[in-house]
């Protein structure tokens, strides 16, 4: 299955950004689970006191396999 936007994005993204609003219950725990799942292919940056962004470098698993 292809995305409707696939003709516009011919190259895979270098980074994926996921914003976390830490005001919501359980958001901090979810962020930590995501960091643990992505391991060395992601990092967290604080944007504000209660807001963080998870920066993911996709394609890391394919680099490990080769």
Higher-pLDDT residue of 66, 58:
58
In a domain, 49, yes or no: yes
Summarize pLDDT for 5-64 with one digit per residue, the tens.
566 666 777 889 999 999 999 999 999 999 999 988 999 999 999 999 999 988 765 555
Domain annotation covers residue 1: no
In a domain, 5, yes or no: no
Nearest to 16 by CA among 48, 56, 52: 56
Is 40 buried (19+), middle (13-18) or exposed (0-12) by CB count in 10 A?
exposed
Q: Tokens for 39, please give them.
A: 């391991």
* Joined tokens for residue 22: 């830490």
Residue 7 lies in a domain: no
The pLDDT assigned to 35 comes to 94
Q: What is the separation, in whole angstroms, between the first and last Cα of the chain?
A: 26
Q: What is the pTM of this model?
A: 0.70
Q: In the numeric block, which tokens belong to residue 20?
A: 């976390």
Report residue 17 as tokens.
């950004």
Instruction: Say what the pLDDT of residue 2 is.
Output: 56
């Amino acid at each position: 299955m292809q995305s409707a936007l696939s003709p516009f994005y011919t190259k895979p993204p270098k980074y994926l950004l996921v914003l976390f609003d830490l005001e919501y219950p359980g958001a901090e725990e979810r962020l930590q689970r995501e960091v643990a799942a992505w391991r060395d292919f992601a990092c967290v940056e604080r944007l504000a006191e209660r807001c963080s962004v998870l920066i993911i470098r996709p394609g890391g698993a394919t680099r490990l396999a080769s």
